[in-house]
């Protein structure tokens, strides 16, 4: 079984490649978009399965876990589609030499970081599913705090309680008021061991 780190590094590279090729290449947008979508589907599955075993469960993934992953992959396919639509103007500007390669690279890096944060949350959720019935406690992170994270601090429930409410630490777009974007919160088991990232 591969380590999560290598899946993550490979995914980041695939995103950079797909986006850079999009800005510089001559093929139809669909080819770059499909490349990134394929990389996403593979990376999500790989990260999730590694997380599941890192969390102490045995493959294959159970039904609830699989269902969550399929929904997450679907949502991300749409995000990627929107991303290429959003970048269209920038690509035109780049081709007209109104912006520089450095501008394009900065944008690509920003996108790459966003998408790999989502991959982190897929990994985190896979670990939570592996320990779905374990009692875990929400621990407040060292960031500006939102009301949801503040009210969750110290709360102890089964991991699946948090999953079903989409209270997933650091998950971009999660149900906490902070949306998880700057969240540094984590979940600890009763021995004080972090079960998330």
Residues in contact with Zn ion by CB under 5 A are 149, 183, 185
Query: Which residue lies nearer to Zn ion by CB, 122 or 183?
Result: 183
Minimum distance from CB of 194 to Zn ion (Å)?
14
Is the CB of 58 or the CB of 142 nearer to Zn ion? 142
Which CB atom, from 103 or from 144, has the smaller least distance to Zn ion? 144
**For residue 16, what are the contacts with CB-CB under 8 A and spacing of at least 6?**
108, 109, 112
Q: In angstroms, what is the minimal distance from the CB of 175 to Zn ion?
A: 11
Could you tell me the smallest distance in angstroms from the CB atom of residue 161 to Zn ion? 16
Angle of CA points 45, 46, 48, to nearest 5°: 65
CA angle 19, 52, 156 (to 5 degrees): 110
> Which one, 1 or 150, has the nearer CB to Zn ion?
150
Q: What's the start-to-end Cα distance of the chain, in Å?
A: 18
Would you say the C-alpha torsion 27, 104, 85, 181 has a positive or negative sign? positive
- Choose between 20 and 161: whose C-beta lies nearer to Zn ion: 161
Least Å distance, CB 172 to Zn ion, is: 12
Residue 102: CB minimum distance to Zn ion, A: 33
Cα Rg of the chain (Å, integer) = 18
CA distances from 37 to 13, 30, 45, 73, 77 (A): 13, 10, 12, 9, 6
φ/ψ of 114, rounded to 5, equals -65, -45
């Amino acid at each position: 079984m591969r380590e999560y780190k290598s899946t993550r590094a490979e995914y980041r590279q695939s995103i950079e490649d797909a986006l850079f090729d999009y800005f510089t290449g001559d093929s139809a947008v669909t080819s770059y978009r499909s490349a990134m979508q394929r990389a996403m589907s593979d990376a999500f599955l790989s990260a999730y399965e590694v997380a599941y075993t890192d969390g102490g469960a045995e493959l294959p993934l159970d039904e609830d876990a699989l269902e969550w992953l399929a929904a997450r992959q679907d949502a991300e396919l749409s995000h990627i589609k929107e991303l290429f639509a959003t970048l269209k103007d920038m690509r035109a500007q780049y081709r007209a030499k109104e912006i520089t390669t450095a501008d394009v690279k900065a944008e690509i890096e920003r996108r790459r970081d966003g998408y790999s944060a989502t991959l982190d949350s897929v990994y985190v959720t896979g670990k939570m599913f592996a320990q779905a019935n374990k009692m875990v406690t929400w621990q407040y992170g060292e960031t500006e705090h939102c009301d949801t994270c503040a009210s969750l601090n110290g709360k102890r429930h089964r991991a699946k309680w948090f999953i079903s409410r989409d209270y997933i630490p650091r998950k971009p777009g999660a149900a906490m008021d902070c949306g998880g974007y700057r969240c540094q919160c984590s979940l600890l088991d009763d021995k004080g061991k972090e079960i998330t990232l």
